[in-house]
Amino acid sequence: MLNHGGRLNSAAQEYNIPVEDWIDLSTGINPEHWPIPELPSVCFSRLPETDDGLIGAAQQYYQADNLLPVAGSQAAIQLLPLLRGKSRVAVPEIGYAEHAYQWKKSGHELVFYQTPDIEKIINDIDVLILINPNNPTGETYTREQSLRWHQVLQSQQGWLIVDEAFIDCNEANSLVSFSQQPGLIVLRSIGKFFGLAGVRSGFVFAEQTLLEEMNEKLGQWALSGISRYLTKKALLDTTWQQKNRVLLSRSSEMLHDLIVQKSGLTPSGTTLFKTLMHPQAEYIFELFAQQGVLIRLLDNKQGVRFGLPKKEEWLLIRSIFEQVFKRINKAEEIEKRKLA
Ligand SMILES: Cc1ncc(COP(=O)(O)O)c(C=O)c1O
């Protein structure tokens, strides 16, 4: 299985720093998760029921009707490749690697693309996977652009799959409201904006026949009663959502400014994370880890990704950024002098 962020226990062992002393910036999820309320005991004692109000809450939050709750958007990422015959599937060269991994595992042919390639390959593929906004690059696609590609794919009986796991902070480009169209599949997550990665909950938006097929394959009780209860409550909590959009956006600007100030480089990313491409990415990762801060080293080792710190972590994070980039910049200067 692939390696993702959030493996704090193994970092604690490797660097010999107790788990509770780490600051975890490796996952790119809201560090101040939606607050967990007291749970009714029926969530534990009774089997989950589908008429519990979750669907209505989700339809209200997403402003779309044709949806299916799943145990995290990951569950849909794993299932979709099983629902098509052998296909040519275009996946981003840099992006959440589970898409490529799952389609390949099911015997499909992969085509890796950089965004400018899409126009060139669109007529020769069956499935296009867009991650909007992309994790980790932060690249975005407008509605017009995505819908144009969908039209081409639809005329070829193909699929456009849009992974919108990170879109909640700015939904202008979301395609959920178009997803009743055949061949358009949109994935959403409760893990990122709501910070509830452990609840394992998300939604698929697609035409009804495909949703029914997915539901059938996933079987009974795909989400636990606790997941359904927490997801419903979080989706209905518009006061928390509004407040957090503002807080996250402020925190995101602060992180952007800190990275620019200390590294002299401009990161890309989304509201929830910033990605810094850097020739010394591995060394940066190492220096942060030595200080008990877990960040994400990109799979190609050419950059690092920072999630947002919690309110009380900012002071320490600022000082660790100062120390780390002092060493990085000094090492670069020595290298330059050697070359001169
Ligand atoms: C772009 C993207 N999509 C989907 C997922 C899966 O998230 P979840 O299964 O928690 O909804 C992730 C997880 O990191 C991700 O980065």
How do residues 158-178 score in pLDDT, each as one tens digit? 999 999 999 999 999 999 999
The angle at the Cα of 269, spanning 117 to 90, to the nearest 5 degrees, equals: 25
For ligand 1, say whether the CB of 91 is within 6 Å of any of its atoms. no
Q: Could you give the 3-state DSSP secondary structure of residue 75? A: helix
Q: Check pocket membership of 74 for ligand 1, CB cut-off 6 A.
A: yes
* Residue 139 CB–ligand 1 contact under 6 Å: no
Convert the pLDDT of each residue in 178-201 to its tens digit.
999 999 999 999 999 999 999 999
Task: Report d(CA 14, CA 304) in Å as an integer.
Answer: 19
Tell me which residue has tokens 């979750």: 54
Q: Over 90: is that where the pLDDT of 53 sits?
A: yes
Kindly state if the Cβ of 5 falls inside 6 Å of ligand 1. no
Closest atom of ligand 1 relative to the 27 alpha carbon: 14
> Residue 314 class from Cβ within 10 Å (0-12 exposed, 13-18 middle, 19+ buried)?
middle
Distance 171 CA to ligand 1 centre (A): 17
96 within ligand 1 shell (Cβ under 6 A): yes
Distance CA 290, CA 142 (A): 40
- Rounded to whole angstroms, the Cα distance separating 329 from 333 reads 6
Computed over its alpha carbons, how large is the radius of gyration of the chain? 21
pTM of structure: 0.96
- Supply angle C-alpha 296, 298, 299, rounded to 5: 125
- The partner residues of 270 in beta bridges, in order of sequence, read 273
pLDDT at 7: 83
Is the CB–ligand 1 distance for residue 129 below 6 Å? no
